[in-house]
Chains A and B, each alone.
Chain A
């Protein structure tokens, strides 16, 4: 079993939809959870990070962590064509530890 798993997609939604992107993980010691957005032929950019459980909101984006289920989610409200990208989840045990990345989910928002 891989340490971090993501459905690769592609996920295709109409503009304005609410998007849910998810990752599952196997290591219960993970405490830092990150989401990166990667446009085609570009490097990833850090969107959000959360520590431990709970929700964090930033504009149209909400990150949610459920440590009991070993499951994290990124919700995108009012999705836009500019949100079309690959979304990578990543996690680590401490703030100094190596980060483990998921393979990414490809999202396409159709105008």
Chain B
């Protein structure tokens, strides 16, 4: 069954610590995205990647980093420079094949909820 797997479901970060959120997809999608969801706000784009070994900053990239070494994987690191990391983080993917959509995320994982200790 194809989909996106995010882990862990819950994560706690200590002061000064970097943490990495995992995102794996088996949909063979080219594009992958990281969004942050805060109460009362729309999803905000952190980073996206259209192809392996290439990624672009979104609207709120400061304090975050990503890598895209494999098509299936797009991990997000929340660094200590991100002063307000408490949020629900969502990974998504998309494919233009058969949909006419390319930039629009079509499949989402079930998220990682990050909190500060």
Residues of A within 8 A of B (CB): 4, 8, 32, 34, 41-46, 49, 51, 88, 90, 92, 94-104
Contacts and interface: CB of A to CB of B under 8 A. Distances in A.
A42 B110 contact: yes
6 contacts: A43-B92, A88-B42, A92-B104, A98-B45, A98-B59, A99-B105
A45 B110 CA distance: 10
Interface stretch (B11-19, B65-73, B79-87, B95-103): B95-103
A96 B40 contact: no
B101 to A, nearest CB: 6
Interface residues of B, number: 25
A97 B33 CA distance: 13
Contacts of B105: 46, 99
Interface of B: 4, 6, 40-45, 58-59, 90, 92, 96, 100-111
What 10 A-B pairs come out closest when comparing CB atoms?
Answer: A43-B108, A101-B42, A101-B43, A96-B103, A43-B110, A96-B102, A103-B42, A44-B108, A95-B102, A46-B106
A94 B1 CA distance: 30
Nearest to A93: B103
